[in-house]
Amino acid sequence: MLRRVSVAALAALPLVALAAACGDTKDGSSGGSPGRTLTVFAAASLTETFTRLGKDFEGTHPGLRVRFNFGGSSTLAQQITQGAPADVFAAASGTTMKTVSDAGDAAGQPTVFARNRLVIAVPKGDPGKVRALADLAAPKLKVVLCAEQVPCGAAAKQALAAANLTVKPVSQEQDVKAVLTKVRLGEADAGLVYRTDAKSAAGQVEGIEFPEAAEAVNSYPIAALAKAPQSATAREFVQFVLSPQGKAALSEAGFESP
């Protein structure tokens, strides 16, 4: 008897999973709760700031839940153009946003809401004795950069080219947080990360500013999405990020205003 029941349950499993997955994409809220959910796709470097802004936004919108999908901007852009149910997209570069708006998935023109520049991140105590960008070219130094395919890697390439430097990294990481982790754990002597990332790991990581970073400042555009299930709230959230309150939170995290 027991055996028969379990076989039937096993057979039904994929169907249940399928049904659950379908249900989720249809209404965006799980468990049949009365509240609405706003889904925001945002670049990994916005994790701390946007999580905080999301809480504030929920506070002024009773019954609303803001759900975030943080990740590499290019991955997020692809998920959106492939039809992932999202209301707002905040990218770490103009090019990734362009992928989305070119596909007709952005509602209206994206607005730049912040800028970020690179700093050299070194482990606490600076064991590699790094002072300036030129020090990264030292052959014995273990340097970690973002891969050129992701925005932080493109920015690093630009800054190094502006300084006319050739740096041989030991690894090309998949996103800026991975670079930060390698520096934080002391596996790398130095890495190029955004100023905001260095700030978020203050205490374990020191951020060294360098003038060539001005050549590779990247902008963060935000847009409500054309197929947003919550289109009105999506536009409100965009306005909230652009508001003085949003700007204050962003500059506190180390972002520059556009």
Partner 1 sequence: MDRTAGRPPLVLMLPALVGLVFLVLPLVGLLARAPWGTLGTRLAQPQVLEALRLSLVSATIATGLCLLFGVPLAWLLARVPFPGVRLVRALVTVPLVLPPVVGGVALLLVLGRRGLVGEWLDRGFGITLPFTTSGVVLAETFVAMPFLVISVEGALRAADARFEEAAATLGAGRWTVFRRVTLPMAAPGVLAGAVLCWSRALGEFGATITFAGNFPGRTQTMPLAVYLALETDPQAAIVLSLVLLVVSVAVLVGLRDRWTGAA
Nearer to partner 1, 20 or 248 (CB): 20
Choice between 79 and 231, CB closer to partner 1: 79
Give the rounded distance of the alpha carbon of 134 from its chain centre.
28
**Of 131 and 168, CB closest to partner 1:** 168
CB of residue 67 to partner 1, shortest distance in Å: 21
Q: How far is the CB of 156 from partner 1 (least distance, A)?
A: 14
Give the shortest CB-233-to-partner 1 separation in angstroms: 30
Residue placing its CB nearer to partner 1 in the complex, 205 or 224: 205
Nearest to 191 by CA among 95, 47, 204, 237: 204
User: How near is the Cβ of 83 to partner 1 at its closest, in Å?
Assistant: 14
Find the shortest distance in angstroms from Cβ 102 to partner 1.
14
Both tokens of 183, joined, read 């520096």
The two tokens of residue 76 are 């997020």
- Our CB check for partner 1 shows the closer of 2 and 15 to be 15
Distance CA 145, CA 126 (A): 17
Other Cβ atoms less than 10 A from the Cβ of 48: the count is 17
Judged by beta carbon, residue 150 or residue 163, the one nearer partner 1 is 150
- Phi (first) and psi of residue 85, to 5 degrees: -75, 105
Residues in the chain: 258
The CB-of-150 to partner 1 minimum distance in angstroms stands at 6
Give the three-class secondary structure for 40: strand
User: Cβ of residue 188: shortest distance to partner 1, in angstroms?
Assistant: 8
Residues that bind partner 1 (CB under 8 A): 7-8, 10-11, 14-15, 72, 74-75, 78, 142, 144, 147, 149-150, 169-174, 178, 181-182, 185-187
- Rounded to whole angstroms, how far apart are CA atoms 258 and 249? 14
Q: Which CB atom, from 81 or from 245, has the smaller least distance to partner 1? A: 81
In whole angstroms, what is the distance from residue 53 CA to residue 57 CA? Answer: 6
Pairing of the two strands 36-43 and 143-146: unpaired
How many other CB atoms are found less than 10 A from the CB of residue 208?
16
31: burial class by Cβ within 10 Å (0-12, 13-18, 19+)? exposed
